[in-house]
Structure formats: structure tokens, C-alpha cells
Amino acid sequence: MAPRNIGQQFIELASVDSTNKYAAEQLALRKLRHGAVILAHEQTAGRGQRGRVWRSGGGLDLTASVVLMPQRMRVAGQAVLAKMAALAVHDVVADAFRQAGLDVGPVRIKWPNDVLVDRRKISGILIKNEVVGTLVQSCVVGIGLNVNNTDLEADIQATSLRLETGREHDRRAVLEALCDRLEAWWQRVEAEDPVVGQAYADLLWSRGRFAELLLDGEPFTGRPMDVDEEGRLLVEDGEGRVRAYGTERLRFAPR
Ligand code: BTN
């Protein structure tokens, strides 16, 4: 078997503002290779999607960034990076569920790349790609996974591995498992294997079921069906018409 590249270069930080910011800075200095992993035990200014803050329990959860350097990925196809990252996190959570004897059915991926257990968010992913011309030069995948946190704000409907499985998890083992799964999905991405898109679609939260959405800020009810190569959600409306929308226009209505 080929050696695992993801995690070969490993940077461990006791505390940092944001592992994504740190990775971008180190990338600009050409200090990171493909597969570099930056793990922080605490983030003081963790970043989330749509400019939000990402909070995590210092020393309890996983906050890490992974650097990927595709060989020949077109910008138009870059959504596959978000898909593979979500699939890798999904697999780690699903494995923890299996080991605890729990049903993995409720572990799903909510577009664009949250991992949920039913309606409870267990992981968020923030991706930043560096583009040169028409190609993706590098990608920073920032992953926040709630591992041992039990002090989550009830109103944001968050959960952790510990809350779900009822036991503490070794964060180092979780990170190892995550690197393994990222490597496995990365090999498929590099091989342009359609299984990445298919597996993602199969795990899509609310797939085929009517969901409350906001389109340009207005309530809209539609059925998420799939996510295209550009990362747009394909939604079927009440009349059976399917349209593709990006995150700049469409989002799930807050619960
Ligand atoms: C989201 O809003 O759901 C995305 C959250 C992403 C959080 C992770 S934690 C590691 C990395 N560093 C950051 O500042 N953000 C990402």
C-alpha cells in the first residue's frame, strides 16, 4: 500500500488564533507540503462559515487544518474537495457510532459540509482554496469536530462524540482515523472516481425531503437532491422543477 501523505508533516500548536489562518500564512511562506496537518489544542479566534466564529472546547475537541495540493484540479470542479472532507469526517463519526453499537443512519452531511447527527451539528468544515489561473493550487481544509465537549450550547443544536456515544474519546486516535479517511478519499479524488460525488449525495441531509430554505433571504421550500461539481445544491421545488443554487443565494433556514 502507498504511504499515507496526509499527516506526514505534522505541526502541533498549544494555542493559535486559527489553524486555517496559520496554514494560509505558512503556505504563503512555502513551508507546507501536500498533506500537512496543523493541530491546535486551543483556538482563540476560530473561524466558521459565513464569517461566523467557531467555538470549541480547549483540549476537548479537534481543531485542525489539512493542506491538499491537487495535481490538476480545475476551479470548476473544486467542490469535490469539500465533498471528500465531509465524507472523511462522516466516516470517522460513523465508525465511532459503530464501535458504540449505535445506528449510523442519523450521521449525515448537510450541504455544504456540516456533519450532523439527526439535526445536531457535530462537525463544521471551512475550506479555502488558492487558485492560479484555472487550477486549484492548494487547499486548506479546516475541520472542527466536537469530540469530548459536553458543555455545548443547547440552542445551536450541537453535539459531540462523547455526548452521542457516552464515552470519552482519545483525540489523537480520532485525528489518526481522520487522516486515514482523508487519504482514502483523496486517492479517489485524484483518480477522478465518481464514487466521491455518489457517496456524498447518498449521505446528503434531507435528501428528497422537503426542507425549509432561504433563497435570497426569502423562505423557500424545496427538496435537496444532489450537489453539482461546482458545489451548488440541486433543489426540486413543489412543481418538480430542479434548479442549482450556490451558498451566496441559498441556505437552510435557521432552526
Ligand atoms: C463552520 O462554520 O461550520 C465551519 C467551522 C470550521 C472550524 C474549523 S476549526 C479548525 C479550522 N480553523 C478555523 O479557524 N476554522 C476551522
Domain boundaries, the chain: 10-202, 211-252
With CA atoms as reference, report the closest residue to 249 among 224, 228, 232: 232
Does ligand 1 have an atom closer than 6 angstroms to the CB of 26?
no
pTM, entire model? 0.96
Ligand 1 near 142 CB (within 6 A): yes
Q: Which residues contact 170 (CB under 8 A, 6 or more apart)?
A: none
pLDDT at 244: 97
- Using DSSP's 3-state secondary structure scheme, residue 82 falls into helix
Using left for φ > 0, alpha for ψ between -120 and 50, and beta otherwise, residue 161 falls in alpha
Cα of 1 vs centre of ligand 1, distance in Å, is: 31
**pLDDT given at position 152:** 78
- Is the beta carbon of 49 within 6 A of some atom in ligand 1? yes
Per-residue pLDDT tens, the chain, 255 aa: give them: 567 899 999 999 999 999 999 999 999 999 999 999 999 999 999 999 989 999 888 899 999 999 999 999 999 999 999 999 999 999 999 999 999 999 999 999 999 999 999 999 999 999 999 999 999 999 999 999 999 999 876 656 899 999 999 999 999 999 999 999 999 999 999 999 999 999 999 999 999 999 999 999 999 999 999 999 999 999 999 999 999 999 999 999 987
Residue 151's pLDDT is: 86
Sign of CA dihedral 153, 157, 159, 165: positive
Q: What is the CATH number of domain 211-252?
A: 2.30.30.100
Are residues 214 and 250 in contact, defined by beta-carbon separation less than 8 angstroms?
yes
Report the b/e string of 98-117 with b at 16+ CB within 10 A: eeeebebeebbbbbbbbbbb
- CA gap 19, 25 in Å, rounded: 10
Is the distance from the beta carbon of residue 113 to the nearest atom of ligand 1 less than 6 Å?
A: no
Q: What is the pLDDT of residue 164?
A: 96
pLDDT at 153: 61
Q: Is 126 helix (H, G, I), strand (E, B) or coil?
A: strand
Superfamily of domain 10-202: Bira Bifunctional Protein; Domain 2 (3.30.930.10)
Specify whether the CB–CB gap between 178 and 89 falls below 8 A.
yes
Expressed in angstroms and rounded, the spacing between residue 243 Cα and the centre of ligand 1 is: 29
Per DSSP, the residues of 141-178 read EEEEE--S-----GGGTB--HHHHHSS---HHHHHHHH
- Establish whether domains 10-202 and 211-252 are of one fold: no
C-alpha 31/C-alpha 64 separation (Å) is 17
